[in-house]
Amino acid sequence: MDDLIADFVAESREMLEALGGEIVAWEANPDDRARLDSIFRFVHTVKGNCGFFEFPRLEALSHAAEDALADVRAGRRQPDVPLVSAVLAIIDRIGEMIAIIERGEKLPEGDDSGLIEALEPGAEGAAAPAAAAVAELARGAAPRTIRLSVGLLDRVMSTVSDMVLARNELARRLRETSTDVSVDGAFERLSSIIAEMRDAITRTRMQRIENLFVALPRMVRDLSAELGKQVLVDIEGGDVELDREMIEMIRDPLTHIIRNAVDHGIEGPAERLKAGKREIGILSVSARQSGNQILIDIQDDGRGIDGKKLVAKALDVGLLERDDAAKLTPREQLALIFEAGLSTAKEVTAISGRGVGMDVVRSNVERIGGIVEVDSVPGEGTRMTLRVPLTLTIIPALTVSIGSHHFAIPRSAIVEIVRANGESVTLDTLGGSGVATIRGKRVPEVALADILGLKSEMPENERNLVVLRPAGGDVYALAVERIHDHEELVVKPAAPQVMATGLYAGTTLADDGSPILLFDPAGLAEVGGVKLETQDRTARVADGPSTMAAQAVSVLLFRGLDGGRRALRLGVVDRIEEVPVSAIKPGAGQLRVQLGEAILPLAGVNADLGDEKVRVFRLNDGVHEIGYAFREVIDLSTIESDVIPAENPGEISAVTLIAGEPAELVDAHWLFSNHLGTAAGKPSEQPLCRLPSGDPWMQNLLRPIVESVGYRVVGDEHDGEADLVITSERKAAAKAGRTIVLRAEPEAAGAKDDSIYRYDRAGLLMALKSAGSGRRK
């Protein structure tokens, strides 16, 4: 709301300043229609805004002036001197009040009846000094806001990006020649200024997502009244900032999802009472930032979505074969909601039923590099999650090459990277199309060199395969020659002729100034002849429950500060930062690093930091962040060999072969436990432990601990009985057998709370071993 008021003040200032000359001219010539129209537009705008912000005094004044001026414009009244004076007096008073609002003060109580009565025909009002409102504003505080076009900001951002590239080129030249200390010092200062300028310009594009949420309560209220329902809206996270252009692009998809939730998600009062619910339905809308993504959750407590009905509908319309439908997991059943024209709504209304148009919602979100996820329990409700990039201009990407040609691929679309000559990878040709079999899983394969018509010197069996999943869930493998570094790129629109190919999402520049094109993964598949929708569904169900996603463990391979070859699960790495050594200092008993406005615990410092800059992983468990220092990224890869666990718990949990060479596996759970929480031969028949498939913390941080004790981990899709269930939901625990309940808070809720703090490593290991000793036979 503060931002909206600031916009109102800025707009009123601009209009008053532009109106200054018009007021003087209209006082001299009341018959001037153009100036009359300008003054009318000002009071009309102020009246509309005041009704929204609940400024009753301002609204009453502007409403009275608008009525009087409307009579003049309609010819029902002549603009005599008393009327002009009365209007000027009201504009003066409006200017005074806007100045008070700008200073953050509350509008004082007052009686404006005299000013309003002076507008009546025949009334005598004291003439106000011309342009007094503008003079009052000029005596107030200096303007704190300014309106700029997004196009101008984009031009400034582009110029700053070019400055960064020029700085990098200058840095290389300085390293190649001998310079004195004064030149090096001046260059470092210049680098610091450019970095601050780039950060500041980037922030000018950001806007609080509250501006997107502010209209939702009114919309839900109107829809509820139209449908005869009672719905309470709960909104959180309005202070999260998002790219201004991104806010506009997700407005329509968000509106569509909310309209569906109110129309066909939340039941009517009678139906809710019959189901044992409160008459009033709850619709929760929340936003939060996770690394370089914004997550917007829309959750209702309505009737939910029945996946089996979606499957039945898909069979009726011929979208699925019966054999394939039987193999779909619950999550894959719900994903059918995004198929065009597929809906289980009993009736279609003007507001639209859940499922109608969801394919359009998905395509709109995909167009900006986002993802739509759905999770639902029949009878309990539905949660839709929009995952969108923080900004349209800066995205994390992986650089690949064919010969001397370099390209970038958005990291959000990368599932894993494997080598074509690995033991678990085979390449074949079926029906003239390439097929890659990765750990028994078949996916379409297409060579980047063939798509672009480039000559490749590397033999086919030595190429790298980048497994891509464009937003929407389709999987295919892209063969490239070499994999380079992961970095954040400033993306700009490419030339129209380039974009017309359908292969690219934009262009960027490397540090040496050479252009790099950013691929559109979906466009690559289309040009390469991969039929995504058909192939993806077949690939997911073709080989039974042993899916690639269940077996693959994607890791980020890197070198530590001591030169050691190590790997981290990709799911816990949010982004890579580069910071000066001066940003790393001891504090509160441990080493910490300043990353922007955040101060995070720092791990991985096992060698000298040097005297320039250090690269840092930002690790995220969904709630907290810590930093991890390293020297360089080697590759994105997967764990394909046996894992040898460490004898004692610590930063390194195990060692394995990755790309044919030994690598130590970093234990992310131990890192978070050590910095944030309590310090803390497989059997012939492994016990089963069920973990929630959709919980990133469980899968990325807890799963390695569970597996190290000897359990085989299964997900929600496992239909059989499990020896142990680990959950954070007490309701789910009550329905299960042997269960461990984890809580996010260090302290228990009461004496009867037998849950375990999720970073109590010792307690977790004891509970796991205890559960294992008493497992089913």
pLDDT digits (tens, 9 = 90+) for 285-335: 998 876 557 889 999 999 999 888 888 888 888 778 888 888 788 888 888
Instruction: Return the minimum-mean-pLDDT range out of 29-43, 65-79, 419-433, 517-531.
Output: 419-433
- 3 state SS of 544: coil
CATH architecture designation of domain 394-550: Beta Barrel (2.40)
- Cα–Cα separations (whole angstroms), residue 658 to 165, 473, 655, 661, 693: 34, 27, 9, 5, 25
Q: For position 682, what pLDDT does the model report?
A: 41
Q: For position 288, what pLDDT does the model report?
A: 85
- The C-alpha atoms of residue 360 and residue 256 are separated, in whole angstroms, by 10
Judge contact between 428 and 461, C-beta under 8 A: no
Longest CA–CA span in the chain (Å) reads 102
> Which whole number is the average pLDDT over 260-267?
89
Instruction: Return the minimum-mean-pLDDT range out of 233-247, 366-380, 720-734.
Output: 720-734
User: Would you place residue 426 in the very low, low, confident or very high pLDDT band (cuts 50, 70, 90)?
Assistant: confident
User: Would you place residue 705 in the very low, low, confident or very high pLDDT band (cuts 50, 70, 90)?
Assistant: confident
**Average pLDDT score, the chain:** 78
Q: For position 777, what pLDDT does the model report?
A: 47
pLDDT(684) > 70:
no
- Residue that wins the pLDDT comparison between 394 and 127: 394
pLDDT(492) > 70:
no
pLDDT(152) > 70:
yes
Single out the residue of 573, 549, 545, 574 nearest to residue 719, CA to CA: 545
Q: For position 143, what pLDDT does the model report?
A: 44
Q: Which CB contacts under 8 angstroms, 24+ apart, belong to 340-343?
A: 341/317, 342/310, 342/313, 342/314, 342/317, 343/313
Instruction: Return the minimum-mean-pLDDT range out of 320-324, 441-445, 534-538, 596-600.
Output: 534-538
Judge contact between 267 and 219, C-beta under 8 A: no
- Residue that wins the pLDDT comparison between 198 and 208: 208
- Fold observed for domain 2-139: Four Helix Bundle (Hemerythrin (Met), subunit A) (1.20.120)
Judge contact between 638 and 418, C-beta under 8 A: yes
pLDDT(736) > 80:
no
pLDDT(395) > 80:
no
Q: For position 541, what pLDDT does the model report?
A: 37
User: Would you place residue 487 in the very low, low, confident or very high pLDDT band (cuts 50, 70, 90)?
Assistant: low
Q: For position 441, what pLDDT does the model report?
A: 77
- Residue that wins the pLDDT comparison between 155 and 402: 402
Q: For position 51, what pLDDT does the model report?
A: 62
CATH architecture designation of domain 208-389: 2-Layer Sandwich (3.30)
Instruction: Return the minimum-mean-pLDDT range out of 473-477, 531-535, 570-574, 665-669.
Output: 531-535
**Residue labelled with tokens 């690995």:** 422
Task: Supply 487's token pair.
Answer: 């970095």
> Which whole number is the average pLDDT over 486-491?
68
Q: For position 302, what pLDDT does the model report?
A: 92
Q: For position 473, what pLDDT does the model report?
A: 53
Q: For position 283, what pLDDT does the model report?
A: 92
- The C-alpha atoms of residue 236 and residue 296 are separated, in whole angstroms, by 10
Task: Supply 252's token pair.
Answer: 């329509």
Q: For position 628, what pLDDT does the model report?
A: 94
Single out the residue of 128, 98, 134, 133 nearest to residue 115, CA to CA: 128
User: Would you place residue 284 in the very low, low, confident or very high pLDDT band (cuts 50, 70, 90)?
Assistant: very high
pLDDT(31) > 60:
yes
Sign of CA dihedral 144, 150, 155, 161: positive
Instruction: Return the minimum-mean-pLDDT range out of 117-121, 460-464, 488-492.
Output: 488-492
Q: For position 347, what pLDDT does the model report?
A: 52
Task: Supply 359's token pair.
Answer: 């394919």
Q: For position 123, what pLDDT does the model report?
A: 65
- 3 state SS of 441: strand
Q: For position 32, what pLDDT does the model report?
A: 80
> Which whole number is the average pLDDT over 208-225?
82
How do residues 568-626 score in pLDDT, each as one tens digit? 987 788 777 888 888 898 887 788 998 877 888 999 998 888 777 888 888 888 778 89
Judge contact between 147 and 10, C-beta under 8 A: yes
> Which whole number is the average pLDDT over 483-495?
70
In SS3 terms, 600-652 reads as EEEECCCCCCCCCEEEEEEEECCCCEEEEEECEEEEEEECCCCCEECCCCCCE
pLDDT(154) > 90:
no
How do residues 361-384 score in pLDDT, each as one tens digit? 887 787 776 788 888 999 999 999
- Residue that wins the pLDDT comparison between 501 and 134: 501
Instruction: Return the minimum-mean-pLDDT range out of 228-242, 508-522, 743-757.
Output: 508-522
> Which amino acid, residue 432?
G
Query: What's the length of the chain?
Result: 777
* Torsion region of 604: left, alpha or beta (phi above 0 gives left; psi -120 to 50 gives alpha): left
Angle (CA) 518 521 523, round 5°: 95
Q: For position 733, what pLDDT does the model report?
A: 61
Task: Supply 90's token pair.
Answer: 């009201």
- Residue that wins the pLDDT comparison between 532 and 59: 59
Judge contact between 467 and 452, C-beta under 8 A: no
Angle (CA) 233 235 239, round 5°: 160
Rg from Cα positions in the chain:
31
User: Would you place residue 138 in the very low, low, confident or very high pLDDT band (cuts 50, 70, 90)?
Assistant: very low
Q: For position 292, what pLDDT does the model report?
A: 59
pLDDT(110) > 80:
no
- 3 state SS of 179: coil
> Which whole number is the average pLDDT over 470-496?
73
Q: For position 17, what pLDDT does the model report?
A: 64
pLDDT(125) > 70:
no
How do residues 159-180 score in pLDDT, each as one tens digit? 877 777 777 778 777 777 776 7
User: Would you place residue 191 in the very low, low, confident or very high pLDDT band (cuts 50, 70, 90)?
Assistant: confident
Q: For position 627, what pLDDT does the model report?
A: 92
CB burial of 79-109 (b: ≥16 within 10 Å; e: otherwise) equals: beebbbbbbbbbbbbbbebbbebbeeeeeee
> Which whole number is the average pLDDT over 251-268?
89
Instruction: Return the minimum-mean-pLDDT range out of 380-389, 487-496, 510-519, 615-624.
Output: 487-496
pLDDT(273) > 60:
yes
Task: Supply 71's token pair.
Answer: 């009579």
Helix (H), strand (E) at residue 336: none
| β-strands 565-569, 661-666 pairing | parallel
Q: For position 629, what pLDDT does the model report?
A: 93
- The C-alpha atoms of residue 742 and residue 295 are separated, in whole angstroms, by 23
Angle (CA) 102 56 43, round 5°: 70
pLDDT(651) > 60:
yes
Helix (H), strand (E) at residue 461: none
> Whole-prediction pTM value?
0.44
- The C-alpha atoms of residue 458 and residue 455 are separated, in whole angstroms, by 9
Give 593's strand partners: 584, 600
* Assigned CATH class of 553-676: mainly beta
pLDDT(563) > 60:
yes
